[in-house]
Amino acid sequence: MKIGFFGGSFNPPTKAHLNLARKAIEEKNLDKVVFVPICNFYEKKELEPIDKRIEMLNILCKDEDKLEVSSIERDFKEKKYAIDVFKIIEQNYKNDDFYFLMGEDNFINLPNWKEFDLLKKYKYIVFERSGDIEKTRNDELMGIENKPFFIKNSCFKDISSTSVRSMIKNDVKIDNDIIDKDVEKYIYKNKLYL
């Protein structure tokens, strides 16, 4: 199988996350995309517990045959790095053709990640945000072994989890194009981001 692993905080998951996963499936002909929410040990502002983020992702993916949610990081007892998670995925999916999905900002910053020399061997699908293709596609200098596959992200670049949290906090009505209505109901029912 061809599988894309889409890591992130998904705090909360938005329609942009959903649409990017669909776009990756379509453009790279993936069999499925698996969302991998980061564990609770990341020092990220207003990070809700992983169980709640997994539930929101499950709500978001409920009608999607080719989307799944992983709880791989749920039981981590300490902060793990991308390389740790990548190794677990590699071990669990050794018979599959797998890719790691990430935004352009993370891809550009990849050389600064822990054990970058080991990260270079993996395959990446990168969502372009800035349109600065030359800067983003400088994979020869980075030494990435497999040429990354780039997907234009211009349609969804203005939707962010940060802006959703701000709208919730400031009691601003959230547009249907930004967040799934059932995810929004879950957020208010559980008093998240208030």
- Name the token pair of 55: 């539930």
Q: What is the pTM of this model?
A: 0.92
Q: Does domain 2-158 have CATH number 3.40.50.2300?
A: no
Return the domain boundaries, the chain.
Answer: 2-158
pLDDT in 10s for each residue of the chain, 194 residues = 999 999 999 999 999 999 999 999 999 999 999 999 999 887 777 899 999 999 999 999 999 999 999 999 998 888 889 999 999 999 999 999 999 999 888 898 899 999 999 999 999 999 987 665 555 556 555 788 888 998 887 666 567 898 999 999 998 998 888 999 999 999 999 999 98
